[in-house]
Structures are given as structure tokens and as C-alpha cells.
Structure 1
């Protein structure tokens, strides 16, 4: 599918191909010279993997599998030269919500005397994804608050703020202090596929309704298939990382009230990363879970720990401030629905219908004819019909 802007017909959008690897490397290198970004580093590593395994990955993209959308990328091309790139991926297992991982726009050649703006090319890439990926009902992005150009691009294309994210870093000295305390977690259990329903319930109750609707997670999102488990094991072995996870079970409510997933770096080159979920009614678990994670990090080289918090989690941010954690980043989580206009048009069409138009079979065929009704005569007829004759008078009548 090719999308062409009416103002700049020379710029077209198409799916990524193998011959674009060199151009994508050049495009990411030019962006990295302007601004150093961890996303560009990850993209460079993905390009190396694509160059090595393009044939098998291309074959796997033809049918449903965990690697089908490993490198779902579209490029903007002008006169045979790449001028933009967008990479997207499904956010949940049902693929109802998709995420824009990155949008990169390079220099664009003048066309018809006018030079296309970078926002025009970025908008064309976004709209192409909105149309090409038909199963995506909602789109999700996360962008740094200081990246004004990217924020303007997303707002121009209908994205609205969903939550404000803050990233915290707990240094190794603070982790050592936390690890000295024994956490009070009597019902701390390891995570398995049998606990998927409990984790889904915890994830549902830990976020506002709007965020829950955008994420659209189900029980299947918290299960790990055999293929994915083997793939994750190989990935952790290559990257020298390990994953430890656990949750706190409340026996009286038969529910999970706290969960963490800790990714450990065993070679000491990268900080540890933690994903933390706590029930809003059990915020006292924050010190206990962080102490448990700190004790786990004692078995690996000393390194800092990164944790994220949203603006709807004030207790977590308050505790991290008291702990002395450093704020290393602020981002905006934004979303955009692509089905809301269709739903509104359906509702507006139904609002014009009257009840008489819907329930035609309940309409009377003619007007009712008024008649007389006497309560006294009706009662007399009812009593005479129900009158019981005594047995002795019945025998006299026979004689």
C-alpha cells in the first residue's frame, strides 16, 4: 500500500525491504550525530540482526508467530532516496493496541519549488500506519517532554496525553542499604502461567479506566508460551541478563496485591530495570518489594536500579523521593483512537429512530372502541358463577 500526500506527490510510503538497510543505517547515523538516543542504538542493533536473519524473519512474517512483527517498519521515499522511517509493534497479544516505537525523519529534497517539512513526512508515515494496520483500534506512544518537535508531530495527528511518566534511578549505595532490611512478605510466590488471571486482575485495578481501556490487556498477555520462553532464554544468554519475578498473594481476598519483574545485568554494563505493580489499597508494599529487589541484586555486580512511575501513582513517587532516588527522565504517554468516528456515526444514526419505527409489530391496527363497564354488574356475575349450593337443598331439589 502506497500513501501519497496531495501537497508533495514525490514522497511515498512503503514497507521496509532488504535493500533499505544501508539507507536506514545512514538515516539513523545522521540522527545520532545530532542527538544521542538510546532508541537509535537499539535500532542499530536491530538492523544488524535483520541483516543477518532477514530471510528467516521474512518467512516468519507471513503467518502468526511471536516474531511476526519483530521489525514492522515503513519507510518514506523521495526520488529513490529514503527520507523517513517509522517502526511500530503490537502492544498486547490481541493486537488491538499498537505502539509507535520511533519516527525518524531525515532531509527532504525540494519538490516543485517547495521543500516538504519534516512534520509533513512524519504525518504521512503515521497516517499510513493508521490505514495499513487494520486491526489496530488504538495507538500508543511515549515521547520525552523535551522533544518539542516530536510532541508537535503527535499532537498534530490527534494524539492526546494519557499519563505523565517519571523514570527514577536508585544508585548502588541505596540498594545496599535497602538490602540490609528483611522484607515483610509472608506470601511471596514465584510467577507462572497459572497465576496469569491474578496478575491480570492486579494490572486492571492498578490503573485508571482510561489507561486500562487503551492498554486493553487480557489474561493471555500475562502468559508465556513455550516458544517465547525458549526465545527469551536465548536472548538473556546472549545479552548476559537474567529475569526474576514474583508476586504477593492475599489469601483472604484470593488476589494478587503486588508484583515485580526485575531484569538483572550480570556483566555490570547496564543498570538493572524493574517493572513494579502495586494494588492501590496496599501502598505499604512499596518498601517491602523494593527491599526484596535489592536483596536479589546482591548476587550480581553492583549497579543502579531503574524504576518508572506514572502521575496516577502518587504514593510511589512520594516513597521514591523519600528514598532519595534521582529523576532521570520525564515522558508523556499519549494515545489516539482510530475507531471513535465510526462509533459516533453509528450512535448518531440510531438516535434518529423513534420507538414506533423500531417496534412496528406492537402498533395497534385500529383505534380502540370505547365501551361501558359496570363494576357492580361484574361483581354480581362473578358471585353467581362461584356460588356453592348447600347439600340439603340439593337433595330437596331432587325429591
Structure 2
């Protein structure tokens, strides 16, 4: 497990030419949208609009004291003193990967293309680092973070390392266009193909525990409900009924920006021989003919890469998955107050013992 990184000091990136902060970072608001007209931000407008719309019911539910799932965190960096028309330098979109909000993901980190031409704007690397640190500070309940970057994007990889992220594994991105099904062999006995639902979701969770490396498993901190919510109920399992165990599974993750669906294929380490017709059946159940599926495979998994190539999938570069854990220092008064409250509760739980009367010894009378 990689060492935790302290995050208790405030994350402030200063302009090296002055002691003032180089830019202002604030949460996305409605008045920001008209000024996010840089080509780097235009593809994100549907996501940003959806975030603003969902923030209203979430705020109302929070005011009423109702439990509500966490939404994405969107921060915008704008130049100081930009006049009536704010100059947006960049933005970051982060989202929780589980219901408890213990693990967050850097979904998007975009910098304005036009800002680099302004002589008064801070360096692009400073703006990106400032946004990332502010997101880490403001994400509620975050204990760990993950982020991905192309293996060829050395600038992004250096930025993540600078802010405490460490590489976990390198994955290859594949795109498979679903064509006509060839003559697929029948499933090995006694395996059964079953759709993913709440009753068999624990089998998927145990499969994920077996296939995910321990350090990354601790970072993701996924539970059964997290897997169901992320997949939206779109998934299939190969189940061994004799052992009541899922030996392979495929589930939907998200819509891919380039079209098609991003999916996750999991195969138990002891059942790698299923790579072939059995796993192809799983993938074909996720989408109809003519659709596209996007999959990630570990670059160290030669058997899976060979099978994907034989399947006709196309390589689309390597992606480095990076992660970091963090801990936040609690103030000493808060810690002392919590200790006093715990002591008071423990005292109340102790049994009330009545003082026992001491018997007076009878003097010995000698004859």
C-alpha cells in the first residue's frame, strides 16, 4: 500500500511573481456557463448543465435532513481582476465512486486554450495543480483518489505525481465492434448464464475482490450497492451453481464519449481458460449487433490481450491508473472533546454498585 499523503495544510498555489493567489477557484454556478466558451470546455456543457440541475434537489434534500447520494464536484478557476467578463482559466470535475464518498475520481481536468496567450495569466501547470489540490481539499469525506492519464501524456502524469498520485497499473484500451456471431461453443458444464440483479450481486462483489489487486481494492472501497449503482443493472454473470460462485462477469460502466459503451470484464484468476467463447457470450449480452464496446485490459495480462486481438478488437493506446490515499489531521480540541464524550458514555454504562457494609469483627473473649 502506498504511503498516505498529508493534506491538512490549505492548498494554495501562489504566483511566483507575487505573494497573491494567481487565480480564484470557486464552485460552478449558473453565471459561469456563458463564459465557458473556450473550445476546451464546450464538450463538457451537457455534463455541467446536468450538474447544476441536480444540485437543486440535492440541496433541498439536504435542507430537509434526508439522505441523498453525493453529486459531482465542479470547480472553476478564473483570473483575478478580469473585469466585467471573467476569464475562465480551467475547470475540474470530480465524482465519488461509492455511496459513502470515501473514494473520488478526477473525471475531467481541462485548461482553457486561449488563456495561454494572455500575458497576465498564470502558468498552465500552476492552474491545473491549483484546481486539483482544491478539489482534494473540498471533496466531502474523501479518503482516497484515483485518476487516469494516457501513457503518452507526460505533462498530466507529472502533474499527478506532483500532487501525491502513484501509478497502480497500466491498462490498454480496446474497442470492439460487435459483428455477426460465429458458431460459439456451448458453455462448459455446469456453468449458467444469469443477468445481474440484486440477489446475485454479492457473487459479483466476491468476483471483484478476487480479481482486483489488494492495494487498489482498498482505494476503491467498493461494496455491493456501489457495483449495482455504477452498472445501472446492466450486467451478466457466469455462475457455477455447485459452488454458488461467479467465475466471470461483464457489466456496463458508462457511455463512451466516442460512441458505444464502456464495460468491465472480470474473470476469476482460476478460470482464465474461459477467455474465448464463454467471455464473448458475456460481451454480446451487453449490447446489440453493430454497437461498440470499450474495454480495458492490464498490459501484463498477455492472455487477455491475445484473445481481444483474435476477437477483432482495436487497440487505442495505454492508460496509466494512478491513486493516492490521504489522511486529515483533526484539531486537538475536537479530539479531546470526543474523548471526554466517550468517557462519559462509558461511565454511564458501568454498573452502579452499592457500597458494601464492613462487618465489625467480634472480639474474642478468653475464659
Q: Do these two structures clear the TM 0.5 threshold for a shared fold by scoring above it?
A: yes
What do residues 7-36 of structure 1 show as CA deviations (whole Å, max 9, x unaligned)?
A: 352412121111111122x13x2x27xxxx
Distance 1:295 1:196 in 2: 20
TM-aligned CA distance change 1:159 to 1:192, over 3 Å: same
Secondary structure in 1 matching 2:200: helix
**Greater length-normalized contact order (CA 8 Å, ≥ 6 residues apart):** 2
Confirm or deny: 8 A CA contact 1:93 1:221 kept in the other structure.
yes
Q: What does residue 160 of structure 2 align with?
A: 154
Secondary structure in 2 matching 1:184: coil
Q: What does residue 46 of structure 1 align with?
A: 47
Confirm or deny: 8 A CA contact 1:5 1:124 kept in the other structure.
yes
TM-aligned CA distance change 1:141 to 1:167, over 3 Å: same
Q: What does residue 6 of structure 1 align with?
A: 14
Q: What does residue 248 of structure 1 align with?
A: 238
Distance 2:53 2:91 in 1: 20
Within 5 Å, which residues of 2 pair with 1:1-399?
4-7=12-15, 8-24=20-36, 26-27=37-38, 29=39, 31=40, 41=43, 43-50=44-51, 55-56=56-57, 59=60, 64-66=67-69, 68-69=70-71, 71-78=72-79, 79=81, 80-106=86-112, 107=115, 109-111=118-120, 116-172=122-178, 175-178=179-182, 180-184=183-187, 186-224=191-229, 244-262=234-252, 270-293=259-282, 295-296=284-285, 300-339=288-327
Q: TM-score scaled by structure 1?
A: 0.67
Residue 104 of structure 1 deviates from its aligned partner by: 1.3
Confirm or deny: 8 A CA contact 2:236 2:282 kept in the other structure.
no
What do residues 323-370 of structure 1 show as CA deviations (whole Å, max 9, x unaligned)?
A: 34220232111111222x969xxxxxxxxxxxxxxxxxxxxxxxxxxx
What do residues 193-243 of structure 1 show as CA deviations (whole Å, max 9, x unaligned)?
A: 12222111110110211221221112332345xxx99xx6xxxxxxxxxx7
Confirm or deny: 8 A CA contact 1:264 1:273 kept in the other structure.
yes
Q: TM-score scaled by structure 2?
A: 0.72
Q: What does residue 387 of structure 1 align with?
A: none
Confirm or deny: 8 A CA contact 2:76 2:91 kept in the other structure.
yes
Highest CA radius of gyration, 1 or 2? Answer: 1
RMSD: 3.2
Task: Give the unaligned 5+ runs of structure 1.
Answer: 33-39, 233-242, 344-399
Residue 3 of structure 1 deviates from its aligned partner by: 5.9
Confirm or deny: 8 A CA contact 1:138 1:335 kept in the other structure.
yes
Aligned residues: 303
Task: Give the unaligned 5+ runs of structure 2.
Answer: 1-9, 331-367
